[in-house]
């Protein structure tokens, strides 16, 4: 079974209730059969978005804690996201790895918590520009996959997003060959480790926009995209969904 196509939007720390009007437009004009759509708004909007979209798109959080509850001010448990209507959680985004010093081990713990709460973990990996320039990209991705993806990962509960740090929000993208090389490596590593590793969806993320989406989606083992800036407006995200 080939992985299902997924267009995932990461709103980051953007959006208020008023922004959900963009989703109304997305629902009316831009959903494509055969392609799942996931929007991960700020946690404040998860419940409202899920209630508004009634399962027509998937809704996700942008992080979760590894513990189920307790004295962790400001954090959110996976079960709380699930309770609010989320089905997914982005984990190990490079902004969290950088801003909050998240390690592979912590990301793995969060992914286990997400799975235990019934959420699909969208686990992000990606090299910095310095690592790419030093020729370390494949080693970095291999190590992040080994360290961040838990043994309980399956094609049903896990999606991997390759997001080169230097391509996020910069307007720069790797060459098609560079994306193909990393996605082939990820497919090999996951297939070697998991019984259904060949079916785990692999997303590319980093400055995806309407103008480059079709070309990126044609690359082998690219099953969709994790989109930041261009997911905020239906007029941008809609054509990306259509390109899948
Ligand atoms: C992201 O933050 O996951 C991302 C890919 O951002 P952008 O599309 O804006 O580069």
Whether residue 224 is contained in a domain is answered as yes
Whether residue 64 is contained in a domain is answered as no
pLDDT at 49 over 80: yes
Residues with CB under 6 A from ligand 1: 10, 163, 168-169, 205-208, 226-230
pLDDT at 32 over 90: no
Whether residue 141 is contained in a domain is answered as yes
CA of 10 to the centre of ligand 1 (A): 7
CA of 230 to the centre of ligand 1 (A): 8
pLDDT at 1 over 80: no
The pLDDT mean for the chain works out to 97
pLDDT at 118: 98
pLDDT at 35 over 90: no
Smallest CA-to-CA distance from 211 within 230, 192, 198, 196 is with 230
Catalytic status, residue 72: no
pLDDT at 56: 93
pLDDT at 2: 85
Which residues form the domain of 215? Answer: 1-6+87-228
Query: How many beta carbons lie within 10 A of that of residue 74, not counting itself?
Result: 5
pLDDT at 180 over 90: yes
CA distance from start to end of the chain: 17
CATH number of the CATH domain containing 193: 3.20.20.70
Q: Which atom of ligand 1 is nearest to the CA of 225?
A: 5
Whether residue 47 is contained in a domain is answered as no
Span 186-225, pLDDT tens digits? 999 999 999 999 999 999 999 999 999 999 999 999 999 9
Catalytic status, residue 93: yes
Chain centroid, CA 164 distance in Å: 13
Whether residue 152 is contained in a domain is answered as yes
Going by the annotation, the residues of the binding site for substrate are 10-12, 169, 207, 228-229
pLDDT at 30 over 80: no
pLDDT at 33: 77
Chain centroid, CA 141 distance in Å: 15
Span 133-179, pLDDT tens digits? 999 999 999 999 999 999 999 999 999 999 999 999 999 999 999 99
Whether residue 57 is contained in a domain is answered as no
Whether residue 45 is contained in a domain is answered as no
Whether residue 79 is contained in a domain is answered as no
Number of domain units in the chain: 1
């Amino acid at each position: 079974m080939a992985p299902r196509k997924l267009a995932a939007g990461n709103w980051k720390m953007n959006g208020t209730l008023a922004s959900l009007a963009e989703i109304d437009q997305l629902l009316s004009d831009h959903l494509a059969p055969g392609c799942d759509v996931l929007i991960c708004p700020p946690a404040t909007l998860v419940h409202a978005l899920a209630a508004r979209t009634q399962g027509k798109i998937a809704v996700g959080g942008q992080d979760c804690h590894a513990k189920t509850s307790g004295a962790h001010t400001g954090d959110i448990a996976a079960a709380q996201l699930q309770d609010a209507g989320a089905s997914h959680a982005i984990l190990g985004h490079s902004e969290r790895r950088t801003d909050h010093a998240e390690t592979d081990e912590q990301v793995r713990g969060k992914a286990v918590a997400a799975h235990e709460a019934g959420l699909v973990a969208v686990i992000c990996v990606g090299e910095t520009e310095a690592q790419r320039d030093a020729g370390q990209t494949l080693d970095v991705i291999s190590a992040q996959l080994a360290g961040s993806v838990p043994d309980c990962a399956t094609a049903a509960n896990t999606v991997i997003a390759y997001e080169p740090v230097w391509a996020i929000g910069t307007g720069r993208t790797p060459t098609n060959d560079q994306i193909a090389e990393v996605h082939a490596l990820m497919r090999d590593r996951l297939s070697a480790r998991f019984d259904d590793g060949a079916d785990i969806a692999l997303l590319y993320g980093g400055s995806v926009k309407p103008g480059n989406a079709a070309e990126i989606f044609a690359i082998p083992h690219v099953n969709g995209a994790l989109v930041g800036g261009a997911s905020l407006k239906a007029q941008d995200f809609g054509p990306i969904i259509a390109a899948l």
